[in-house]
Amino acid sequence: MSNNKNISIGLFGFGCVGQGLYDVLNHSQGLKAEIQKICVKDKTKSRKIDKSFFTFDRKDIFRNGHHNLIVELIDDANAAYEIAGEAINKGKNVVTANKKMVADNFESLFRLQIKSGISFLYEGSCAGGIPIIRTLEEYYDNELLCGIKGILNGSSNYILTRMEKDNMSFDKALKLAQLNGFAESDPWLDIAGYDTKYKLCILIAHAFGLILNPHDILNIGIQNISPFDIKYANEKGCRIKLLANSEKLILNGADVYRIYVLPVFIPASSSLSTINYEFNGIEVEGVYSDKQFFVGKGAGSYPTGSAVLSDISAITYDYKYGYKKLKKRINGHIPDFSKDKEFLDKDFFIKLYIRYEDKKELEPLEIADVEEQYSSAKNNYLVANVNFSSLRNINKKNRLFICRV
């Protein structure tokens, strides 16, 4: 496989990742790819490269027949989906780093790829600089995987690390994450676990061949964490990490999956506890390959730009995802993926630490045996087994801090 195509790139978006890609591409050797036009929204912003690169009209990019690759690095998932769809329909390959767009539209994008034969790559969407999608595709394609879990959001991991190591407040740590370019423009997506969930959706499609709608996966974030929780975790020899979790189990002879995003107490001896600041870490467990662990920068201009570059390079030799685990399920016709949520196991008990201010907020939860209970003027918590499905009942804007023990 050698570079045999000249790539002319029409780029959408010139924010943190777009500018990172621009630099990385200019310093890469031997790659025949060039950014020729960049479509941006804001007409007033001053930019570090010449004006002639920019257009404010999407049509300018598509009108130009020379662009054989559309790289989409904008923020708005709906607009990104429109761009990707238009590009594929016009026979242009697409590289994107937009996890929400990919996760929200996985099935339709998968069908579009099958129909069109277009390359649609999105390594930059998951875990920045870690080549996890390509590894799941090419290395674990015939491996029986039993679990994949990880720290997938650089911004919330940065906040947790700053709070723990530097006794920083949540708000100050969040501001620093934003200043450093690790946070999404809407930080709620980071801290409430949505960003992690979108990435998890993409990973499980490649790891297990399941297409799940993000709405079907529970996510609880770190937005309500306090220094009290971090102290509690440290006293137990643990660190709090926001974890994407997926595991395959056999229940009554059938494969089922437990998939969720939750803060978790990670023992200090575990590899995942060594993942700090904006780093991401992913553990892949196979029946035969055993556990493998991947670590790298999960956010930032250059690491994500490098991941996008690697996709651009793959386009030069016509690489496409094989989606082997998904295609195994296609016998003559494409199955009804909308039923994949039936593979989710939700009827189990999970041990949680729950700190609360108002006891009323616990009411929607089905709590079985309480193992620990603590109350003081300032803080109340309990450690108990809770029915997983009852976690769905709590209000999105609750004040609870919930963490798997």
**Is 199 a catalytic site residue?**
yes
Q: Please name the helix (run of DSSP H) or strand (run of DSSP E) that holds residue 161, with its range, or none.
A: helix 154-166
In the complex with a second copy, the residue whose CB is nearer, 170 or 323, is 323
Residue at token pair 């941006």:
40
State how far the Cα of 262 lies from the Cα of 259, in Å rounded to an integer. 10
In the complex with a second copy, the residue whose CB is nearer, 317 or 374, is 317
Among 105, 157, 313, 398, binds a second copy (CB under 8 A): 313
CB atoms under 10 Å from CB of 347, counted, come to: 10
Q: Please name the helix (run of DSSP H) or strand (run of DSSP E) that holds residue 200, with its range, or none.
A: helix 194-208
Among 60, 76, 82, 141, binds a second copy (CB under 8 A): 141
Question: 348: closest CA among 309, 320, 387?
Answer: 387
Q: Which residues lie below 8 Å from residue 324, measured CB to CB, with a gap of 6+? A: 137, 141, 142, 209
Among 10, 18, 124, 131, binds a second copy (CB under 8 A): 131
Among 53, 54, 293, 343, binds a second copy (CB under 8 A): 293
Phi, psi torsion values for 144, nearest 5 degrees: -80, 105
In whole angstroms, the minimum distance from the beta carbon of 24 to a second copy comes to 5
In the complex with a second copy, the residue whose CB is nearer, 49 or 287, is 287
Phi, psi torsion values for 90, nearest 5 degrees: -90, 10
State how far the Cα of 7 lies from the Cα of 18, in Å rounded to an integer. 17
In whole angstroms, the minimum distance from the beta carbon of 258 to a second copy comes to 21
CB atoms under 10 Å from CB of 1, counted, come to: 8
Among 75, 76, 86, 143, binds a second copy (CB under 8 A): 143
Beta bridge partners of 34: 8
User: CB-based burial of residue 79 (10 Å sphere; 0-12 exposed, 13-18 middle, 19+ buried)?
Assistant: middle
- Is 333 an interacting residue with respect to a second copy (CB under 8 A)? no
Q: Cβ distance 282 to 293 under 8 Å?
A: yes
Strands 254-267 and 367-375 come out as unpaired
| Total residues interacting with a second copy, rule: CB under 8 A | 54
Taking the chain, what is the end-to-end CA distance rounded to the nearest angstrom?
48
State how far the Cα of 2 lies from the Cα of 268, in Å rounded to an integer. 44
- Is 271 an interacting residue with respect to a second copy (CB under 8 A)? yes
- Is 27 an interacting residue with respect to a second copy (CB under 8 A)? yes
In the complex with a second copy, the residue whose CB is nearer, 214 or 281, is 281
**Geometric angle at alpha carbon 369, from 368 and 373, rounded to 5°:** 115
Q: Which of 37, 197, 199, 325 is catalytic?
A: 199
In the complex with a second copy, the residue whose CB is nearer, 75 or 143, is 143
In whole angstroms, the minimum distance from the beta carbon of 249 to a second copy comes to 18
Strands 254-267 and 238-251 come out as antiparallel
Residue ranges in 28-87 that form contacts with a second copy under rule CB under 8 A: 28-31
- Is 142 an interacting residue with respect to a second copy (CB under 8 A)? yes
Among 228, 294, 343, 349, binds a second copy (CB under 8 A): 294
- Is 95 an interacting residue with respect to a second copy (CB under 8 A)? no
Stretch that binds a second copy, among 100-108, 131-139, 149-157, 164-172 (CB under 8 A): 131-139
Among 5, 8, 15, 23, binds a second copy (CB under 8 A): 23
In the complex with a second copy, the residue whose CB is nearer, 304 or 398, is 304
Question: 296: closest CA among 139, 150, 137, 101?
Answer: 150
State how far the Cα of 206 lies from the Cα of 398, in Å rounded to an integer. 33
- Is 339 an interacting residue with respect to a second copy (CB under 8 A)? no
State how far the Cα of 332 lies from the Cα of 338, in Å rounded to an integer. 18
- Is 298 an interacting residue with respect to a second copy (CB under 8 A)? no
State how far the Cα of 392 lies from the Cα of 394, in Å rounded to an integer. 6
- Is 144 an interacting residue with respect to a second copy (CB under 8 A)? yes
In the complex with a second copy, the residue whose CB is nearer, 27 or 360, is 27
Among 73, 130, 211, 262, binds a second copy (CB under 8 A): 130
In the complex with a second copy, the residue whose CB is nearer, 85 or 286, is 286
- Is 274 an interacting residue with respect to a second copy (CB under 8 A)? yes
Residues that bind a second copy (CB under 8 A): 1-3, 20, 23-24, 27-31, 123, 129-131, 134-135, 138-144, 271, 274, 286-297, 302-303, 305-307, 309-310, 313-314, 317, 319-320, 322, 324, 327-328
Q: Which residues are catalytic?
A: 199
